[in-house]
Amino acid sequence: MRKCSFCGNFESSERKLLTNNDDSAFICEYCANAAFSAFHGDEKKVETSEDCVAFDTITPKGLKAVLDNYVIGQERAKKVFSVGVYNHYKRIFKQSDDDTELAKSNILLIGPTGSGKTLMAQTLARFLHVPIAICDATSLTEAGYVGEDVENILTKLYQAAGCDIKKAEQGIVFVDEIDKIARMGENRSITRDVSGEGVQQALLKIIEGSSVNIPPNGGRKHPNQEFVQIDTTNILFVCGGAFDGLNEIIERRVGKNVLGFNQNRRGKKERQNAISLVEPDDLVHFGLIPELIGRLHSITTLNEITTDDMVRILTEPKNALLRQYEKLFAMDGAKLMFDDEAVREVANLAIKRKTGARGLRSIMEEMMTDIMFDLPELNGYEVHISKDAVDKKAEPLLIKVK
C-alpha cells in the first residue's frame, strides 16, 4: 500500500495521494494543504494529519502495538481496551447509512493502583490525537453541594480540546477512583450521600449520551453566565478503580469462603485470579448502582505488577525511567549505567511500597538527587549504580573516560 512520505498515513478513499514521476515519493492532500498554507501564509486553519488521524488505517492490533510500547504486561486488558477504542471510533467514522444503529460501549478497568489504567487511556488518546480529560471521582459531588459538579468533567474535556466543540465531542473522559463513590453496603442510607450514590446518578446522564450545558470556564453554574452545549453521544467514557475487597465478594459467590481454616492457604496469585472472574452482579454487591454498571459495557481487569514487570517497566518502554535519566546525564556529558542487581533492587523497593509503577519515580528521585546535584561537574565520567548504591550503603562508582 502506498503511504504519504511526510505523515506516514496510508492511501485510502478519504486520503488521496499525489506522486512524482517515478513513484518514489508521495504526499497526501492534508500535507499538501499544510504546505500550501506555509508557503502562501494562509491564515485559515488547515486540517493536517496531526489533527485528523486516518481512522480507516487503524486496527485493534495496531492499537495494542502502540500500548505495548508503553504498558508492560496486562495483555488481556490491552486487548480488550484496544478493541473497545477501535469499535468506538469505527462507530463514529464508519457508520453506514442502513437502519442498524451502533450503540456506544464504555469501558471499566479494574486493577490495583499503578497497574497502568490511566496510562492506557492517555497513550491511545495521544496516538489518536483526541482530547482526554482525567478526573478523580472522589472530588465530585452532587449539584448544589460543596465540591466539583459532575458536569465539570466535560468542561475539562472542552478545554483540553482547545475550546473546539467538535473535537471535544469525539474525545475520551477517564474517571479514576470510581470505586470510591460506591454505596457503603447495598442498602440505601437514610442520610444524604452527596459524594457516593448521588454522584453515580449524576454520571448516568452524561455517560449514556445527552446534550449538556457546561460553563466554559468551569466552576458552579449560575443563571446569568453563558453556557456551551456538548453532545456526549460520541464521547468515550473510561472508568477505573482498584476495588479493594471485590475479590472477597467474588470468592463468596464462587464458593470459596473467605473465613475458615483455608484462609491462609490461598496465595496471592489465587486472589488475583478471583478478580478476573468478576461479573456485573459482584459490582452491585460492592456498591455501584445497576444503572451505572449497565452503561459500562466492557469490563476488564488488570493484574498486580510483579517484580519482573517492574524491571521491564524501568527499562523497556519508550519513556522508561532509566532512559529518561540516561538522557539527563548525557545532556551534561556524563554516562549513567545501572547494574542488573541495582535495577531489580529498585523494583523490589517499589513492590514493598505497594504504590505500583507510579512509585518508581519517587524512588529514583530519592536515590539520584545527591548524584544529580553534582552532575554538571561530572562531564566525561561514567556513573555506575550498584545494588549497594540503591540501598545507600555505598556511593556510586565514578570512572573518568575523557
Per-residue pLDDT of the chain (402 residues; tens, 9 = 90+): 677 777 767 676 666 788 877 777 888 877 787 777 666 654 444 343 344 455 666 888 988 988 988 888 889 999 999 999 988 888 887 765 566 667 778 999 998 888 889 999 999 888 888 899 998 888 876 554 445 678 888 888 988 888 888 888 889 999 998 988 886 555 444 443 544 678 888 888 888 888 888 877 665 555 566 788 899 988 999 999 989 888 888 888 887 544 444 444 455 555 556 788 888 899 998 889 999 999 898 899 998 888 899 999 998 888 888 999 999 999 989 999 999 999 999 999 988 888 888 888 888 888 888 888 988 888 888 999 998 888 888 888 888 876
Cα separation, 268 vs 306, whole angstroms: 11
Q: Please indicate if the annotation marks 73 as binding a ligand.
A: no
The per-residue DSSP string of 46-82 comes to P--TTTS--GGG--HHHHHHHHHTT--S-HHHHHHHH
CB atoms within 10 A of CB 234: 17
Q: Please indicate if the annotation marks 117 as binding a ligand.
A: yes
Q: Please indicate if the annotation marks 31 as binding a ligand.
A: yes
310 in Cβ contact with 363 (< 8 Å): no
Q: What angle do helix axes 307-315 and 360-373 make, rounded to 10 degrees?
A: 50
Q: Please indicate if the annotation marks 7 as binding a ligand.
A: yes
Q: Please indicate if the annotation marks 113 as binding a ligand.
A: yes
* pTM tops 0.75, yes or no: no
Q: Give backbone dihedrals phi and psi of 371, rounded to 5 degrees, phi first.
A: -65, -45
113 in Cβ contact with 104 (< 8 Å): no
The per-residue DSSP string of 72-97 comes to -S-HHHHHHHHHHHHHHHHHHHS--S
Q: Please indicate if the annotation marks 114 as binding a ligand.
A: yes
Q: Please indicate if the annotation marks 28 as binding a ligand.
A: yes
